[in-house]
Amino acid sequence: MKDYIIATVSTADLREEWLKEHRIPFLPYNFILDGEGYQDDCREETKQMIFKAMRNGSMPSTSQISEYAYEHFFTKVMEKGKDVIFLDMSRSISSSINNAKEAINRTATRYPGQRLTFIDSYCISAGLGLLVMKMAEMKENGSSYEEVIEFAENNKRKVIHRFLADDLQWLRKGGRLSNASAIVGTLLSIKPLMYVRNDGSIYAYDKVRGRKKSIHTLVESMKDDFDPAYSGDKILVYHADAEEEAEDLANLIRETYPTVKDIEISTEGPVIGSHVGPGFLAVVYFGTNRIL
Of 116, 135, 156, the residue that ends a domain is 156
- Asked if residue 8 and residue 101 are part of one domain, the reply reads yes
Buried b (16+ CB within 10 A) or exposed e, 28-66: bbbbebeeeebebebeeebbeebbebbeeeeebebeebe
Between 292 and 174, the more confident residue is: 292
Q: Measured between alpha carbons, how far is 130 from 94 in angstroms, rounded to an integer?
A: 18
Of 120, 136, 156, the residue that ends a domain is 156
Q: What is the pLDDT of residues 88-108, one digit of tens each?
A: 988 777 778 889 999 999 999
- Asked if residue 121 and residue 65 are part of one domain, the reply reads yes
Residue 116 falls within a domain, yes or no? yes
Residue 183 has pLDDT above 90, yes or no: no
Residue 278 falls within a domain, yes or no? yes
Of 156, 176, 205, the residue that ends a domain is 156
Q: What is the mean pLDDT of the segment spanning 274-289?
A: 90
Q: Measured between alpha carbons, how far is 199 from 36 in angstroms, rounded to an integer?
A: 34
Residue type, 288: T
**Count of structural domains, the chain:** 2
- Asked if residue 167 and residue 106 are part of one domain, the reply reads no
Q: What is the mean pLDDT of the segment spanning 121-134?
A: 95
Residue 181 has pLDDT above 60, yes or no: no
Q: What is the pLDDT of residues 56-75, one digit of tens each?
A: 989 899 888 999 999 999 99
Q: What is the pLDDT of residues 153-171, one digit of tens each?
A: 999 999 999 999 876 565 5
Q: What is the pLDDT of residues 223-277, one digit of tens each?
A: 989 887 777 789 999 999 999 999 999 999 999 998 898 999 999 999 989 888 8
CB of 251 within 8 A of CB of 133? no
CB of 77 within 8 A of CB of 5? yes
Residue 255 falls within a domain, yes or no? yes
- Asked if residue 215 and residue 183 are part of one domain, the reply reads yes
Backbone angles phi, psi at 216, to 5 degrees: -65, -40
Residue 292 falls within a domain, yes or no? no
Query: pTM for the whole thing?
Result: 0.91
**pLDDT cut 90: percent of the chain above it:** 67
Residue 182 falls within a domain, yes or no? yes
- Asked if residue 163 and residue 88 are part of one domain, the reply reads no
- Asked if residue 188 and residue 151 are part of one domain, the reply reads no
Q: What CATH number does the domain containing 262 carry?
A: 3.30.1180.10
Residue 291 falls within a domain, yes or no? no
Residue 1 has pLDDT above 80, yes or no: no
Average pLDDT, the chain: 88
**β-bridge partners, 208:** 191
- Asked if residue 116 and residue 189 are part of one domain, the reply reads no
- Asked if residue 82 and residue 51 are part of one domain, the reply reads yes
Position 153 scores a pLDDT of 96
Position 188 scores a pLDDT of 43
Residue 263 falls within a domain, yes or no? yes
Residue 221 has pLDDT above 70, yes or no: yes
Q: What CATH number does the domain containing 10 carry?
A: 3.40.50.10170
- Asked if residue 163 and residue 122 are part of one domain, the reply reads no
Residues of the domain holding 52 = 4-156
Residue 162 falls within a domain, yes or no? yes
Q: Measured between alpha carbons, how far is 279 from 267 in angstroms, rounded to an integer?
A: 11
- Asked if residue 129 and residue 69 are part of one domain, the reply reads yes
Between 211 and 183, the more confident residue is: 211
- Asked if residue 206 and residue 148 are part of one domain, the reply reads no
SS3 call for 198: coil
DSSP-based helix, strand, coil % in the chain, nearest 5:
45, 25, 30
- Asked if residue 84 and residue 43 are part of one domain, the reply reads yes
Position 202 scores a pLDDT of 80
